[in-house]
Structure 1
Amino acid sequence: MYRFLLTPRWWGINVFVLLAIPFCVFMGTWQLSRFEGRVQDHRAATEQAASDRHEAARPLATQLPVDKSTSGRRVSASGRYGKQLLVPGRELDGKHGFYVLTLLRTDSGKALPVVRGWLPGTADAAKAPAPPAGEVTVTGALQASESPGDNGVSAQSGLPAGQTAAISSASLVNLVPYRLYDAWVTLDKADAGMKAVPATAPDDTGLDLKAFQNLGYTGEWFVFAGFVVFMWFRLLRREVEYQRDAALGLVPEEEPRVEVSSG
């Protein structure tokens, strides 16, 4: 009864099933490993952020370039404050406001963007306190340059003079006359009545939408594998029933075709 499994049609079906199931299982396992990796990164970033708050600040130069292992680390840098900019559209504690960003000109010849604090309301240069004069040493959490769309960073363009949407060397290079570090620092303690801006986790280390997409894709691939098995058994059952009915003579014979000749 099962000789039909050796026909070319069923050879093709069987080969497809034998290839599809391992592929679906492999892809589901891979997506699951991506999710587990993001969970591990999130756990490591959380533990690092907790330990960084209690560690002594390290020289800025020793923590560059910024990566997952150095993002959030406490660093120190010395220099003189220069040009000041505002970063509008930033929330803190559920309130709308803006960052006060000041460029710290260091002895290296480069300027370090420093977020001195956050203020509520609409970005207004008159509200932002002037930076301290003279030589200063700043201490805060090291952060990687932002990209529009990440962590609520606005992609807005055409901002008024003295404002920037993202804190990144690419965005600031045309706004300030200094060479820039590809990093920025948010102060441990904000200046002049402003609120300190907490450090953010490095990219791809949080349990964000991407992480749960990986988990969703995991389920989809395993469902596909189960669907392939289900359809194979369903086709097999239909074929067995057809062969049984044919053996009992219950399958109607096809009527012979009648050819009509012209002329």
Structure 2
Amino acid sequence: MYRFLLTPRWWGINVFVLLAIPFCIFMGSWQLSRFESRVADHRDATEEAASQRTQTARPLAELLPVDKKTSGDQVTATGRYGKQLLVPDRKLDDSSGYYVLTLLRTDDGKALPVVRGWLPGDADPAKAPAPPTGEVTVTGSLQASETPGDNGVSAQGGLPAGQTAAISSASLVNLVPYDVYDAWVTLNRGDSGMKAVPATAAADTGLDLKAFQNLGYTGEWFVFAGFVIFMWFRLLRREVEFARDAELGLVTEEEQHAAV
């Protein structure tokens, strides 16, 4: 009755099943490991954030380049404020507003983007406080350069002069006449009465939508594996039934092959 399993058609089906099931299990396990990695990163980032509140600020050069470990660390830098820009469409405490971003010219000639604070409403240069003059020393949380799509950052384009959508060297290089660090700082205390902007978690370390997408993909791959097994047994059962009917003379061999 099971001689049909030796036919070329069933050899092909069996090979496909034997390859598909391990592949689905592998992909599901990989997606699960990605989710577990994000959970671990989130836990580490939470613990790191707690320790960062009491850590001593270190010079900028000691913390570059910014990575998951140094993102959010306390940093100090000295220089003179230069060009000021506004970063629109930024929320703080569920209110819409904008960042006041000022470039700090350091002794090495490069500029460090410093978010001096947040103001509510539409970006308005007239309402943004002018930066202090003379040499200043800033202390705040070090952040990695933003990219469109991270933390709601929109793509650059269509903004008025004096505004930028993302705080990154790639965006600022076209707006300022000097080199810019591939990092930025948000002050611990807002300058000139502005609200301080809290540090954000490093990219790919939070339990965001991407993390739960990994968990959803895990379930999908295991469902695919179960579906392959289900369909194999369904086809097997159907072929057995037709084989039994053929032995009893209820269907012809041609009808059996046409049905399956």
User: Does TM, scored on the shorter chain, surpass 0.5?
Assistant: yes
Aligned residues: 255
Q: 1:253 deviation in Å?
A: 6.5
Q: Does 1:4 align with 2:4?
A: yes
Q: Deviations over 1:24-74 (max 9, x none)?
A: 111111111111111111111121112111101011100001111111111
Which residue of structure 2 aligns with residue 132 of structure 1? 132
Q: Tell me how far apart the structure 2 counterparts of residues 56 and 254 of structure 1 sit (CA, whole Å).
A: 83
Q: Tell me how far apart the structure 1 counterparts of residues 250 and 156 of structure 2 sit (CA, whole Å).
A: 72
Which residue of structure 2 aligns with residue 247 of structure 1? 247
Q: 1:151 deviation in Å?
A: 0.6
The CA RMSD measured in Å over matched residues stands at 1.4
Q: 1:221 deviation in Å?
A: 0.8
Which residue of structure 1 aligns with residue 258 of structure 2? none
Aligned to 1:175, the other structure's residue is in SS state coil
Which residue of structure 2 aligns with residue 220 of structure 1? 220
Which residue of structure 2 aligns with residue 153 of structure 1? 153
Contact 2:84 2:103 in 1 (8 A): yes
Contact 2:111 2:181 in 1 (8 A): yes
Aligned to 2:103, the other structure's residue is in SS state strand
Q: Does 1:57 align with 2:57?
A: yes
Q: 1:166 deviation in Å?
A: 1.0
Q: Tell me how far apart the structure 1 counterparts of residues 85 and 23 of structure 2 sit (CA, whole Å).
A: 53
**Amino acid aligned to 1:150:** D
Q: Deviations over 1:181-239 (max 9, x none)?
A: 11100000111110000011111111122111111111111111111111111111111
Q: Tell me how far apart the structure 2 counterparts of residues 131 and 13 of structure 1 sit (CA, whole Å).
A: 71
Larger Rg, first or second structure (1 or 2): 1
Indicate the percent of aligned positions where both proteins have the same amino acid: 83
Q: Tell me how far apart the structure 2 counterparts of residues 147 and 192 of structure 1 sit (CA, whole Å).
A: 28
**Amino acid aligned to 1:39:** V
How do 1:12-51 and structure 2 match up within 5 A? 12-51=12-51
**Amino acid aligned to 1:213:** Q
Runs (4+) of structure 1 exceeding 6 A deviation are none
Q: 1:252 deviation in Å?
A: 3.9
Where do 5+ consecutive residues of structure 2 fail to align? 256-260
Aligned to 1:199, the other structure's residue is in SS state coil
**Structure (1/2) with the larger helix percentage:** 2
Alignment CA distance shift 1:176-1:253 (3 Å): closer
Which residue of structure 1 aligns with residue 164 of structure 2? 164
Q: 1:155 deviation in Å?
A: 1.6
